[in-house]
């Protein structure tokens, strides 16, 4: 292992520890950024009508959409209607766009507060 590699690993570990410390203490720029992102996404989910998450399942080689519960046990699957599937995927695309938009925000100070 070269000195540059070791230095990079040490720096990355330091950044991770700074983030961990801020999250544990619930303060600092990394924590505030995570909290803001979470609240923004949650607010958008509520505005979208709180769509339930659907999953594509296969039976007999035919795909269909279901709601999972109890860790995906097939005995508990509920079939989803086409409207529910459409609502979920519309939200999923919106959420993906919001995540990209929020990631494009200015970087926070990773060295901690």
91, part of any domain: yes
Beta strand 62-67 pairing with 78-79:
antiparallel
60, part of any domain: yes
110, part of any domain: no
Q: What is the mean pLDDT of the chain?
A: 88
111, part of any domain: no
95, part of any domain: yes
CB distance 85 to 65 below 8 Å: yes
Count of domains in the chain? 1
Closest Cα to residue 45, out of 91, 104, 99?
A: 91
52, part of any domain: yes
Structural domain harbouring 52: 3-103
Q: Which residues pair with 55 in a beta bridge?
A: 66
14, part of any domain: yes
Give the number of other Cβ atoms within 10 Å of residue 107's Cβ: 8
Per-residue pLDDT tens, the chain, 113 aa: give them. Answer: 788 999 999 999 999 999 999 999 999 998 998 999 999 999 999 999 999 999 999 888 989 999 987 777 888 889 999 999 999 999 999 999 998 988 876 555 444 44
* Full-model pTM: 0.68
């Amino acid at each position: 292992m070269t000195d540059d590699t070791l230095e990079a690993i040490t720096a990355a570990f330091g950044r991770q520890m700074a983030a961990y410390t801020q999250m544990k203490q619930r303060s600092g720029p990394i924590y505030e950024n995570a909290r803001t992102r979470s609240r923004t996404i949650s607010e958008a989910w509520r505005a979208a009508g709180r769509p339930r998450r659907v999953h594509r399942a296969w039976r007999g080689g035919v795909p269909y959409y279901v709601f999972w519960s109890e860790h995906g046990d097939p005995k508990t699957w509920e079939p989803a209607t086409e409207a529910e599937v459409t609502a979920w995927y519309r939200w999923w695309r919106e959420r993906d766009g919001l995540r990209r938009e929020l990631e494009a925000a200015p970087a926070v100070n990773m060295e901690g507060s």
